Amino acid sequence: DKGGWSSFMAKEISEEPDAVANTIRGRVEGGQVVIPELAGLDELFVDINRIVIIACGTAAYAGTVGTYAIERWAGIPVTVELSHEFRYRDPVIDARTLVISVSQSGETMDTLMAVRFASESGAKTLSICNTQGATIARESDAVVYTHAGPEVAVASTKAFTAQITALYLFGLHLARVRGTQTPEFLASQVEELQAVPDKIASILGASEKIAQLAHWMADSRAVLFLGRHVGYPIALEGALKLKELAYIHAEGFAGGELKHGPIALIEPGQPVFVVVPSPRGSAILHPKVISTIEEIRARGARVIAIAEQGDAAVLPSADEVIPIPLAGPLFEPLLAVIPLHIFAMELATAKGLDVDQPRNLAKSVTVE
């Protein structure tokens, strides 16, 4: 039931604040993250020496966002890999490796095969899953469910924000258990996370401008997305959504990589979304991203910046600015992705496409 919305996707984007809030619920005690499902695993979490996150599609981008936060908080090496690539090379993993799978459906065959392979190799497995009792959840040593609710639209939206939330909760839980951060610092991060749902709601409330932009851009042949740090996987997610829903050639790049190749693609009129980090939270990266914007605009790009409200540097340099509320640097991706989800949906709608059932795609791919 679409509940009065024009599509499941529109409904599911509107549910992103609840998906985050419901994933946090029951997992904070006295200002610290305590995930009940992980009770009894403290010894394991102290013993592990690395984490590998495996996933496909959107879930892999949520996993990439997770790597930045878990490393920052828990001081443990974390890498992310596509399940099907991980499975068929010869990854070096052992009993001190924790392999975290991220899957909305919990049935993606590529990810299931990678989880089985990890178990057989002696690694410990943790599943971040949205579907109760799914195969990947059942076959893992532990599960942290995302509570995004059922997701019907083929392209994932609310499950993506819930996956990042679950990975963040895990990172904060791990940091507490491993004693890598002070309780005060961890409590400040928990507060930041708890503030996210209302901030997402405020972006949803101002979505008219994004819809307009999407209608103006309905004839674009290609759209580029740039981001750095946690903004990089958000750029990749923005590009994936546009490919999936609007069948437009879209590419996401790391901002620092631009000069190493992609800048050759910039020609007059080329639309480029840029995820701009907060000037307060990212004093070093912010000016670098601003100069990237200036460089591509000098070559005629049309820049749409997603930037913190009131960022004075971005206003004169971008063509369009989509403001997002103030948040700590690691929490910006949960906000910056919302305009990109809306943009892809609105652009596909403007082209008269079925946003819930894009051509050639399935919600859950149960073959390798």
Check binding of 111 to ligand BG6 (CB under 6 A).
yes
Contact predicate 158/196, CB 8 Å: no
Q: Is 344 in the site for ligand BG6 (CB under 6 A)?
A: no
Q: Which of 7, 67, 103, 146 binds ligand BG6 (CB under 6 A)?
A: 103
Q: What are phi and psi for residue 252, nearest 5 degrees?
A: -105, 140
Q: Which stretch binds ligand BG6 (CB under 6 A): 104-112, 204-212, 308-316, 331-339?
A: 104-112
Coil, strand or helix at 97: strand
Residues 233 to 252 in contact with ligand BG6, rule: CB under 6 A: none
User: Which of 14, 97, 104, 146 is in the footprint of ligand BG6 by CB under 6 A?
Assistant: 104
Closest distance to ligand BG6 from the beta carbon of 85 (Å): 14
Structural contact between residues 263 and 296, judged by C-beta atoms closer than 8 angstroms: yes
Q: What is the DSSP letter of 312?
A: T
Cross-strand partners of 100: 53, 126
**Between 81 and 100, how does the x/- string for binding to ligand BG6 read (CB under 6 A)?**
--------------------
Considering the rule CB under 6 A, would residue 152 count as an interface residue with ligand BG6? no
Query: By CB under 6 A, how many residues form the interface with ligand BG6?
Result: 16
- Cα dihedral angle (118, 119, 125, 127), rounded to 10 degrees? 80
Does 202 interact with ligand BG6 (rule: CB under 6 A)?
Answer: no
Phi-psi region of 296 (alpha: psi -120 to 50; beta: other; left: phi over 0): alpha
Q: Which amino acid is at 6?
A: S
DSSP for 246-309 reads H--EEEEEEGGGGGGTGGGG--TT-EEEEEPPPTTT-TTHHHHHHHHHHHHHHTT-EEEEEEET
Q: Which of 7, 19, 22, 57 binds ligand BG6 (CB under 6 A)?
A: 57
Q: Is 288 assigned a catalytic role?
A: no
156 touches ligand BG6 (CB under 6 A): yes
| Phi–psi pair at 149, nearest 5 degrees | 80, 170
Q: Which residue in the set 155, 164, 272, 336 belongs to the binding site for ligand BG6 (CB under 6 A)? A: 155
For position 108 contacting ligand BG6 by CB under 6 A, the verdict is yes
> By CB under 6 A, is residue 361 in contact with ligand BG6?
yes
Q: Which stretch binds ligand BG6 (CB under 6 A): 24-32, 56-64, 276-284, 328-336?
A: 56-64
Rounded Cα gap, residues 199 and 340, in angstroms: 15
Residue 62 as a binder of ligand BG6 (CB under 6 A): the answer is: no
Active site residues per annotation? 363
Residues forming contacts to ligand BG6 in the complex (CB under 6 A) are 56-59, 103-105, 108, 111, 154-156, 361-362, 364-365
